[in-house]
Chain A
């Protein structure tokens, strides 16, 4: 018996000893000496190479020539101003003076040129987006010539992959040298990055001494990290934990609408969806408010169009009447009749496959809601869930509708959305819609530099999309961040590009 007890005790003592060797005490001590902050996000980072990952900009290490503000308008950052005199083929950027890299090297047009050259060499995506033919540097003036007129060049230069770094610095993957308020102290791929303040930052001395950014894909684990005090700020805590977090007086929950839109794409290769009245029927079948309340647990807003209403290029959307009877009216216009509980045309019931994917759990829920509403008006929807949605949409044509989630204006410009979805050969033109009037407006948009004119064209394009119901915008899900009440000056940006700033502070 004694032997038994000693064996059990040994096991428990060993586990206890392992547990006791906690590393928390050291970090607490460090915290009291320095102004530090711990941030846990779901943004993965296997490299700090800014040309391949967003973390360098998010962590305040590097900056881009142009940035996007909270109204999603582009504004100067490392570049003081820019202009084009030939409709978007030649762009002249004036680089701010008096800026230094974190290793003391001065930032001039030559350094920016080398950095952008590296960008297009390392990133196929940026090479495609920037379309750079030639660059010339002269003092603080950088002249970029593009292969074709590119009215969106300043907006493309907002992309974190165009962040300016010192390309001559060693070990860009682990320790890039930028111009931001924080420099890399240590980096463990896919785990954490520690940054410390760069006192000589051109925008003024940062308030924090250091920030620890940890990556964790699991939302429950992130929530626990905040509750345990391991984290001061967590990005996207578990949605079901929001009410609990709100009840904790030491935690602040910040909720902001995102640029993301949960949408329905229609397949024009399917006979039924060639008819715009059929598309309109599904456009009004599902009430976005119900989707917000049910599938998003209240964390979102009804979408009236692809873009947030507050954006200048968002076209005026009319308030729609939703419901089965409204949907039925459109189906009748399309020649369908409801008979014996089935919506029929030429003796055939309206039925199709709806494809969805589990990565965003609200999408399968939204699909089920649509299926249930459709059943009420005699339409049969078969739901199929796939892992790789992009692949399915582009390689198969057996689907009638898909639920999809897309960031519609990632850099504060409508060009991406219309080119990707509705231009011939666009990577996201999965519905194979070809509207000549829309195509010509997008072509015009691509040539137009003046922002006011661009917004006007984008609104016109949006009106055609709306009139023809080429897709249905359902909801904008919210972004939410939770932080401890000792955190000061936190801003949840719509773009999600800027996270750690010089103004971020702790009490």
Chain B
């Protein structure tokens, strides 16, 4: 069997980021008959059977069984499970089983192992870029042949379909798309007379510190803000707020002064003012009233709304020099797994079509806080009612116009890990700012150098 040489060039080209368009046809390499990717011989793949389904309820016996490995737990998984139950009730031919495998990273691991074992689910849901590695491995199958007048890429919000295609074929339909938000304890802010429902700046939040600390919760002074161990996604917006960029082409932190300003701010807020801190679990601390504000995805909206016993406030990400700042895009979409069964692929497409109905898309938005990805979902009565009664959900929609793909260096997992570690050192370990910048610069430059050929192929210089 011929090996397909996967390189990041293929990945990035397929994404169409940087260059602005998907130009796969011009830069993908040859593939083996079984290798998949562009030019895969068939949408079917012999020897790749269905992973264990578990027990099928008696009322659904005798149907075509399909399996989805969901990258969600808790409330999100419950909301998805409910939609699956509705699907199973809605027709008589298909039984769709849903299993939680944990988070996105867990799904990546589980699906990778499943490909080795050749026992795979019929449907997966990967974040923005992750699906491409599986596309090149021939693990996914195009969706285009299943599209019809009712279900195709046109039904989705158009600024979220750019990452769906490889070459001329569609491998992902958007589903759980998000941006980061600033969540705050609105009751506390109101009690202290602090401004609410506004565009905050970081300096402004820092000034609130003494006032917020004047109130105690569980015998402790309330902190203003909680950092956490994996803040890379949010840190994209932080630096945009300070009018800097993590990388510009191959130049890492072209304006180091801006980075230094941001990092000094974070470090001093924690270790000089003492009004921010590095949390073990920021959302738990927020829910218990120990901290006044946290970051979170729009997808945290429903969970936080139900978990807190105070009025929840949601605002755009804080600005500083730039108000409002640019925010990074986030979230994931559904892909169809290439297996031996045409029947199961067709059945899975039916499920995808069902989940893309305005009613289901609206329900997912209501239950989770993710963007109502199907355009018509915004017109659903329940969605309109929600936005009328809970403006927090509207904030998430409004901020979408500020969303942008992150700097190239943070396209790579190693880049985001380095950035998270940098802020964990600053906020947790009180690390020296300049030493942190130097360490991050070294790691970033290494990442860009390792991927120079791929990035240059995208026209990045």
Q: Do A and B bind each other?
A: no
The chain B residues found within 8 Å of chain A, CB to CB, are: none
The chain A residues found within 8 Å of chain B, CB to CB, are: none
